[in-house]
Amino acid sequence: MKTDATAPGRPGATCRGAWRRWGYLLAGGSLAALAGAWQAWAPRPVHTIAMRPGSYAERVVASGRVLAAAEVHLGALRLGQVARVTAELGQPVKAGDILVELEAGEATASVRQAEAALAEAEAALAQVHQVKEAVAVSRREAAEAHYGTAQRELERAQQLVAAGAATQADLEQAGRGLATARADRDAARAQALAAAAGGSETRAAAAALAQARARLDVAQAQREQLRVRAPSAGVVLARQVEVGDVVTPGQLLLVLAASGPTRVAVQIDENQVGRLAPGQTARVSAEAYPEQQFAAHLVTVSPGVDLGRGTVEARLLVPDPPAYLRPNMTVSVNLEICDLDSAVVIPAAALRDGDAAAPWVLVVADGTARRRSVQLGPRAGDVVRVRQGLATGDLVIVDAAASEGMRVRPEPLKIP
């Protein structure tokens, strides 16, 4: 009877099964080894960005405050008691508005007295022109006529004495009459000349009138000093006076923000001074209205540095200020100090040893991560400008797990 060598339980069958199992094990081990080798050799997928020229804006962010066009401190010029205050905090005022007024009873009386003196001086000058001049002219004419008569009387007396019809005493009397008439004529002429326009009496009356007007001006000026007026249009920032207060010369009463161009003052680190230039644009927002931004541009940079803070003050002009903007408001300023249409930038995440003296990046070269030294410019948010070391078309690896020498497979990633 034949036996089956492959039947179960027989020695031949056991040998073949063992060899089969060993074959499976060897085949599985080879596959695992091959898979491990492939995994070690296969390129690792990494995120990359392709270098290409792009827009780049470098900004400086600083806080500041809104400046009034001019901040005017108004004080008292005279000693007195406050009779009226019209200024209220935040109130808009016009140039010339009376904001504070002191008691002015005595000053008003002085003005009225000066006005009366002026009226009297005006009347005196009018009297010179209208009365005295006419009287003087009439008297001069009468004196001239009397002198002519005295002359004729003297001539007649001389003729009578020559004819023996009159005595020497009659001639002497006629001579004395002529001398008196001459004196009266000369006096009348002088008086008429003084009363005439430009004469001494007219000049004296005119001088008295000028003095009276000057005294009135002084009295009015002294009364005006009891009133504190707005020198220009603006807004009342502070009020430190009430009705009934007794104030002294020089005492601060009000602070006024004069109307005019709105400016913003910011403190910028002194290491940025060389990069500031008038005309640079900015976006500004008030802390009270953070979602609302408005435009401004740089106009001046202080020539001095604040030693305590190491900053310089820059001032920006706001051409179209929003209605809610008020003097001394705190604002945040985003000043654009560099705007390039063609620059090489990379995400800050791609940078290696970015704070060291020799920063570098990994680039893809022949399917391998290669180290590349770079020279950096300033940062702007999450991107860094690269001045040297990269060129258009370079693939920069943005993957923290990638290392130098690693085989890689690029996967494009957009710059954030």
10 Å Cβ neighbour count for 190? 14
Strands 408-412 and 44-50: parallel
C-alpha distance from residue 315 to each of 1, 15, 258 (Å): 117, 96, 18
CATH architecture designation of domain 45-60+343-412: Beta Barrel (2.40)
Does residue 54 carry a pLDDT above 70? no
Spatial distance between the Cα atoms of 294 and 321, rounded to a whole number of angstroms? 7
Residue type at 323 in one-letter notation: A
Domain residue spans of the chain? 1-41, 45-60+343-412, 63-67+258-333, 71-101+229-256, 106-224
Does residue 9 carry a pLDDT above 80? no
C-alpha distance from residue 105 to each of 54, 242, 246, 389 (Å): 76, 19, 15, 85
The third-level CATH classification (topology) of the domain covering 106-224 is Helix Hairpins (1.10.287)
pLDDT at 26: 47
Q: Say yes or no: do domains 45-60+343-412 and 63-67+258-333 share a fold.
A: no
Spatial distance between the Cα atoms of 94 and 85, rounded to a whole number of angstroms? 15
Query: pTM (2 decimals)?
Result: 0.47
The domain over range 71-101+229-256 is classified in CATH as 3.40.640.10: no
Token pair of 174 as six digits: 């006629």
Does residue 16 carry a pLDDT above 80? no
User: Sorting pLDDT into bands at 50, 70 and 90, what band is 345?
Assistant: confident
User: Sorting pLDDT into bands at 50, 70 and 90, what band is 166?
Assistant: confident
pLDDT at 378: 66
User: Sorting pLDDT into bands at 50, 70 and 90, what band is 239?
Assistant: very high
156 with 173: CB under 8 angstroms? no
pLDDT at 6: 43
User: Sorting pLDDT into bands at 50, 70 and 90, what band is 170?
Assistant: confident
User: Sorting pLDDT into bands at 50, 70 and 90, what band is 2?
Assistant: very low
pLDDT at 35: 47
More confident residue, 409 or 196: 409
pLDDT at 40: 52
Q: CATH for 63-67+258-333, among 1.10.287.620, 2.40.30.170, 3.40.50.1980, 2.60.120.200?
A: 2.40.30.170
Range of weakest confidence among 9-13, 136-140, 270-274, 367-371: 9-13
Range of weakest confidence among 66-80, 103-117, 166-180, 288-302: 166-180
pLDDT at 245: 93
pLDDT average, residue stretch 192-198: 62
User: Sorting pLDDT into bands at 50, 70 and 90, what band is 93?
Assistant: very high
51 with 344: CB under 8 angstroms? yes
Strands 262-269 and 311-318: antiparallel
Residue type at 245 in one-letter notation: D
Does residue 5 carry a pLDDT above 70? no
- Per-residue model confidence as pLDDT tens digits over 295-326: 999 999 988 888 888 889 999 999 998 988 88
